[in-house]
Structure 1
């Protein structure tokens, strides 16, 4: 499964993180944007988290297992 620091890359990674309720961190250009939330939904281009009002773009952000 996942271990701390793993980067979510494939649609299956995002599906599994969502299914198993894995906490993820969101990074952009070396800056931590979200410390640890669960994925509620994802599309081809965006990720929605349970504590965020908006979404994060897959093209500009990195999603790491917390």
Structure 2
């Protein structure tokens, strides 16, 4: 399994700029499966919404 960094925008209408950018790590076998997991993660927001911005393979130092 490889590690991918997912960048998304968390919408929050209470904030001045409408939300904030955040990241999380996802483990997946390929970039395609990482994108699929990232889309599912963004769709599973309990409140508000998340917009997927980018999925990149983690660069190990």
TM-score (norm 1): 0.32
Q: Which has the higher contact order (CA 8 A, sep 6+)?
A: 2
Which is strand-richer, 1 or 2? 2
TM-score (norm 2): 0.34
Larger Rg: 2
Which is helix-richer, 1 or 2? 2
